[in-house]
Amino acid sequence: DWTMASYRQEAIRKIREQVGDRKVICGLSGGVDSSVAAVLIHEAIGDQLTCVFVDHGLLRLNEADEVVTMFRDNYNIPLIHADEADLFIGALEGVSDPEVKRKTIGKLFIDVFQKYAKQIDGADFLAQGTLYPDVIESVSFSGGPSVTIKSHHNVGGLPEKMGLKLVEPLRELFKDEVRALGRELGLPEKFIGRHPFPGPGLAIRCPGEITREKLEILRKADAVFIDQIRKHGLYDDIWQAFVAILPVRTVGVMGDGRTYDFACALRAVTSVDGMTADYYPFSHEFLGETATRIINEVKGINRCTYDITSKPPGTIEWE
The answer to whether the beta carbons of residues 39 and 8 sit under 8 Å apart is no
Complex with ligand XMP: residue 177 or 307, whichever CB lies closer: 307
Compute the least distance from the CB of residue 53 to ligand XMP, in Å: 15
202 CB burial (10 A radius; 0-12, 13-18, 19+): buried
Residues binding ligand XMP: number (CB under 6 A): 13
Rounded to whole angstroms, what are the CA distances from 207 to 92, 218, 224, 247?
12, 11, 20, 6
Cα separation, 308 vs 110, in Å, equals 35
- Contact set for ligand XMP, span 261-300 (CB under 6 A): 274
Site track for ligand XMP across 131-150, x = CB under 6 A: -------------------x
Residue 57 makes contact with ligand XMP by CB under 6 A: no
Cα separation, 5 vs 9, in Å, equals 6
Residue 56 makes contact with ligand XMP by CB under 6 A: no
Complex with ligand XMP: residue 16 or 150, whichever CB lies closer: 150
* Residue 311, CA atoms < 13 Å, CB-side half-sphere: 19
Compute the least distance from the CB of residue 232 to ligand XMP, in Å: 22
Close Cβ partners of 171 (under 8 Å, ≥ 6 residues apart): 130, 131, 132, 135
- Contact set for ligand XMP, span 69-128 (CB under 6 A): none
Site track for ligand XMP across 240-259, x = CB under 6 A: x-------------------
Q: Which of 30, 200, 201, 207 binds ligand XMP (CB under 6 A)?
A: 200
Close Cβ partners of 95 (under 8 Å, ≥ 6 residues apart): 101, 104, 209, 210
- Where is the binding site, in residues? 29-35
Residues contributing to the site for ligand XMP (CB under 6 A): 150, 152-153, 196, 198-200, 240, 274, 311, 315-317
Q: What residues form the annotated binding site for ATP?
A: 29-35
